[in-house]
Structure 1
Amino acid sequence: MKKKIMTLVFIIAIMSFVLSVTAFATESIKATKTYSTILVDGVNKNLDAYNINGNNYFKLRDIAYVLNNTDKQFEVKWDNKNQRISIITEQPYTPIEGERISRNKLEAQNVVSTTSEIYLDGQKILLSSYNIDGNNYFKLRDLGEKINFGVLWNNTIQTVQIYSTCGYSEEIIEPWDYVKILGKGIDVDWSKTNNGRKYYNKQTVKDFKEAGISHVRIRIANEATDELLQGLDKQISDCLENGIIPIIAYQGDKLKNKPNEKNIKEVIEWWSIVAKRYKDYSHLLSFDLLIEVTDDLNKQPQKLNEIYERLVTEIRKTNPSRIIIISPRLRSDAQYLKELKIPTRHNGYMMAEWHFYASGPSKTNERKLWTIGTNEEKRLINDKINEALLWQKQMGIPTWVGAWMPGNYNDGNDYSIEEQIVFAKYMTTQLSQAGIPFAVNSDTKYYDRKSNKWIKEMIPVFNSIFKSKLT
């Protein structure tokens, strides 16, 4: 008798569990109206959207409608007999009545999962989808991934951004996270000079990685020709393959010498070509818009801000979430960070660059004086760092030092190796403690690109910066 009772209790327990699970599975889910701004290729669109479990859901036909006649267009078909939704990429969308119209006036309501089968280019797929008032709503990021259009959420301005000009990427990197992984890098002229292009090879990247270099600032002075870009393709790919972060930095000398409309347009065109070429590359790649503002542009801070505004607007057409780096005038002096006007289309993916001791310290110049490392000399370094820290705290935008040098190599170098090591250790320590990544200027001072060997006499200086164990 006891066995029968226990069996009956067990059966009842199982039935109760099944009923509770079934009830849970069919329980409706709460959806609330999304009132965030929605931009498609930078243009405000009034689209019906709901937030479900923290994600934005849009009507499938609405997305097809706003992406029609773009590179990311797709057709939507409904098979009533088989209760099947078909998405066909690279085909124009055939509109029906009802796109971009909200029939539901409720702020929040219960919804149920879509039971229809979903096919993408003839293949059955699984997508998170809900039926709301007779329409199927899909998670925007799922659609972006499957159809390969850009999706970006800008928390700062509470804006959903959809892009037909780039593919989907989950690898978006926040600027403050980027700062943490940039670490210690080096300026290179792989694409800047004839010798740099001639002698570049993949072994250089491997050697840099092994020595502790985490990023390279690839400086470029020439036009964006096919030949130059093919070489740059290889350099960037080699870096990404070997775990080094690449940063493209443009010289723009003509613009700095004469910031007229003709030269501004040439720089915009240069960056337009480069941005389009690398739009689908890893977000570890970033764009450094101008290498040290000098010459005539140095005297026109307002013009500099206007140029940045136009450059960022152009780049954002194809790279909505790539990190863009701008720098202040007077050779990127931290003192002038406060003059920068952050471009409208920053999208929250912006950094500022500053330099000090880019051509090394001096034993006579009071602005960058360094002899034996007196308190006053150390204060010159610390004051610049503190200026940058204050600015980035006020603006919420991280900074990075794009160039500094442990010796005055360009002026004959009157610092001994021992003196360079003392200076280098102090600079490295102070920047590291401040959490500011940096690039040392430059690769040819430490590495013989012809022989792929480290320059022996400079190894102690290099080791003092990168904590390497080169011998």
Structure 2
Amino acid sequence: MKKRVLSIALSLMLILTLFCGVATPAFASDSLNAVPKNVTVLTGGKTMNFAGYNIEGQNYFNLRDFAYSVNGSSKQFNITYDSSSKTIHLWKGKAYSANGDELKAGDGTAKNAKAISSKLFLDDSKIKFTAYNVEGNNYFRFCDIMQLLNIYAVYDDNAKAIVVDPSKDYTVQFQKTVESGYFDFLHGALLGNSDTGEILYSNNEEQKLSVASTTKLVTFLLIREAIDAKNLSWEDDVILSKTAEEYSLSEDGVIPMKAGQKAKLHDLMNAMLIVSSNESATALAEHLYGTEEKFTEQMNKRAKELGLSSAEFYNPHGLPVYTPDVLSSKKQNRMSARDLFELSRYVINKYPDILDITVKTELSAESLNFTDENTNRLLFQMDGIDGLKTGTTNRAGCCLIATMPVKTGDSTTRIIAVILGAEDSTERAEKTGVLLQYGKEYYNK
């Protein structure tokens, strides 16, 4: 699906991005059309022109231009590339080493852009952002660099330029962003306080929507309650079924499984939450109630007990279910953004140990002989995130429930953001991050 072009007038939410002219890293095989898109930037009283390209509807700009523009300030950073490990490092607080290629516009013609497959690091922490290489130079979105390096920027309507102020920290002009329609074309969005239930922002919060793998929070809850009741144990050996094997072999499979294979319950729980393993959710459901169908009955029953009136479940994982009719109906688990928020509050407050799982950036499941990175991209983008769950189907779009603790005066509270129906993982992470940043600023003040 074509990505929406976000207006440059969206202050720091601008989808502008920068260009990194370090040595050429490894790339993904597919190339995209990159249309020239330069931008005027005002920094420290100087006017500069950043070279950039529009790629699939979003603007990407020269990271070296940005590094050059803030060099000598408290926000300065350097860029290095390690050819042996194919890693790009951004080093905060380090003086930028210019190479003479900064602030040079292209020739005005469209180019081929390739997605960067190098490993990206901010200091020694791995980060994940969409970035492209065009003719040996790497390009990133402006708003991503602002968040990464804690730099303030805003679009000046009069100057028709982006004003970067390295003396200020990254902040969200939230009301202006909301008024611009930034959240309007999602299926639903909500930001609230986990401790008090206060809602700071919502859009289409009551509509019953497809929720994909965010469903797995209910599956976690039922398994966790069964462990509390001593009906299950974290150390249980779970015998994987033919159904779990079939899911693993499907296009939605995550972890290879074989019927009759044994797996530890704690590995299945981790796999379900960290890499959103559908086959793990099925194995857990069958381990507790024998079949997916019986487990799903309990899911719906528990949802009613919790007052989640919009909840409607067909399975423990969130994939579509097709009726056997010739004209088959495609059913999907559904909830409202508000009920997902309330479910998340309940689960976190009752079982805060879920955050010990969802904060992990990588799964290592020994009994499944499987490792992989967390599907929650925001963990690699924003400090303080410790959960919670992703979800994606064609109908649900890209969904994310994310949470973090924030300071409020001398104490700490917890906020939860819900995004439903984003177009891709980039948009869902960005917009969830904006909600959480607003929540952090709201309580910090």
TM-score range, shorter chain: 0.3 to 0.5
TM (norm. structure 1) is 0.31
Structure (1 or 2) with the greater helix fraction = 1
Which structure would you say has the larger Rg? Answer: 1
Structure (1 or 2) with the greater strand fraction = 2
TM (norm. structure 2) is 0.33
